[in-house]
């Protein structure tokens, strides 16, 4: 079992690699080789029982995708992307990496002709307002960002290439990932993580929106679980509709803060300062809030049921001492 992770240096990519190494097997077979790729060099994992190739480069550059596929990896995780804000600000870069890069990777797999499992990370950004109360599995793709458009195109290609038997793809639409570890993030969605992570570190945090804003989220641990389960799934049980909205937790900001207080104490929650920011409020207003992820739940994907679990997962996974 040779596993390729494209986008292995990102936050989810690093956690996925850790999980693959701790499991040691995938799809019922021991992992015997791993290739980790990103635009910057991913960290070389220490102490593995099998060879790991760590490589970096531009996925949209000529020959790069072919190079990654040359050894015929059995499972390919495609996580690489220019994120939403950057893809919106830099049209050419977003289309080059997210659109052309994905197409080039899929085509390299097609030309290699050996039909591996491909797990593609899509996003709830494929949906754009106005929304129904809960977005179900048959709601149309109406992205309102270039990032969402590029992810939607990736989904369509994945489904068609799978239908044609060129590879065996599963696309997963990730919720907002919370709590993101690391430094405060200036992305419009960054505050969802900041208001939990910073108080857990004893630091103040700013809340730029109202407490009654609802959002759809899952922990990094859940995201890795989604990827692992997508790699394991029997394609026949999925059928031709290969792109799945992942389960998540729909919760208000107020509910998040209550969860933080329950797990870590009211003094931590008191470190959050409300400073309404009309710009961020406007952006967040256009985001989807609640989904009915029935298909993914039927197919065995699981996530947190309470925000307390999301806070607890962050404390455990980041080794935080309260």
Determine if 245 is a binding residue for a copy of itself (CB under 8 A): no
Determine if 140 is a binding residue for a copy of itself (CB under 8 A): yes
Token couple for 129: 């307002």
Stretch that binds a copy of itself, among 17-25, 44-52, 160-168, 289-297 (CB under 8 A): 160-168
Exposed, middle or buried, 30 (CB in 10 Å: 0-12/13-18/19+)?
A: exposed
Among 26, 65, 108, 153, binds a copy of itself (CB under 8 A): 153
Nearest-5° angle of CA 256, CA 262, CA 263? 90
If the CB atoms of residues 44 and 91 are measured against a copy of itself, the closer one turns out to be 91
Q: Is residue 206 a contact partner of residue 248, using CB atoms and an 8 Å limit?
A: no
Token couple for 315: 């404390």
Cα→Cα distances 166→227, 299, 320, Å: 21, 23, 45
Determine if 144 is a binding residue for a copy of itself (CB under 8 A): yes
Determine if 142 is a binding residue for a copy of itself (CB under 8 A): yes
User: Beta partners for 29?
Assistant: 26
CB of 98 to a copy of itself, least distance (A): 11
Q: Is residue 180 a contact partner of residue 193, using CB atoms and an 8 Å limit?
A: yes
x/- track of binding to a copy of itself for residues 27-56 (CB under 8 A): ------------------------------
Q: Enumerate the active-site residues.
A: 147
Q: Is residue 314 a contact partner of residue 196, using CB atoms and an 8 Å limit?
A: yes
Among 89, 204, 235, 241, binds a copy of itself (CB under 8 A): 241
Residues that bind a copy of itself (CB under 8 A): 91, 128, 132, 137-144, 146, 149, 152-153, 156-157, 159-160, 163-164, 240-241
């Amino acid at each position: 079992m040779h596993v390729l992770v494209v986008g292995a240096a990102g936050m989810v990519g690093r956690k996925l690699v850790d999980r693959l190494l701790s499991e040691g097997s995938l799809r019922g077979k021991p992992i015997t080789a791993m290739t980790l790729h990103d635009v910057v060099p991913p960290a070389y994992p220490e102490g593995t029982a099998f060879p790991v190739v760590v490589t970096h480069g531009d996925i949209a550059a000529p020959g790069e995708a072919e190079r990654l596929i040359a050894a015929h990896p059995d499972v390919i995780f495609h996580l690489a992307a220019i994120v939403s804000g950057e893809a919106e600000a830099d049209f050419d870069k977003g289309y080059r990496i997210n659109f052309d890069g994905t197409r080039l990777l899929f085509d390299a797999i097609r030309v290699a002709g050996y039909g591996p499992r491909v797990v593609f990370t899509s996003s709830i950004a494929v949906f754009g307002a106005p929304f129904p109360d809960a977005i179900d599995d048959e709601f149309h793709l109406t992205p309102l960002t270039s990032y969402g458009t590029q992810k939607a195109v990736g989904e369509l290609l994945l489904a068609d290439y799978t239908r044609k038997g060129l590879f065996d793809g599963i696309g997963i639409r990730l919720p907002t990932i919370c709590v993101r570890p690391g430094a405060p993030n200036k992305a419009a969605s960054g505050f969802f993580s900041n208001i939990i992570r910073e108080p857990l570190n004893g630091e103040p945090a700013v809340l730029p929106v109202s407490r009654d804003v609802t959002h759809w989220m899952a922990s990094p641990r859940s995201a890795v679980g989604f990827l692992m389960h997508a790699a394991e799934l029997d394609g026949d049980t999925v059928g031709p509709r290969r792109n799945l909205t992942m389960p998540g937790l729909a919760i208000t900001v107020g509910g998040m803060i209550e969860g933080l207080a329950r797990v870590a104490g009211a003094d931590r929650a008191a470190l959050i300062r409300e400073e309404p920011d009309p710009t961020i409020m406007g952006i967040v207003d256009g985001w989807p809030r609640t989904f009915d992820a029935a298909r993914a739940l039927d197919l065995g994907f699981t996530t947190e049921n309470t925000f307390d679990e999301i806070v607890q997962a962050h404390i455990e996974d980041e080794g935080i001492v309260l």
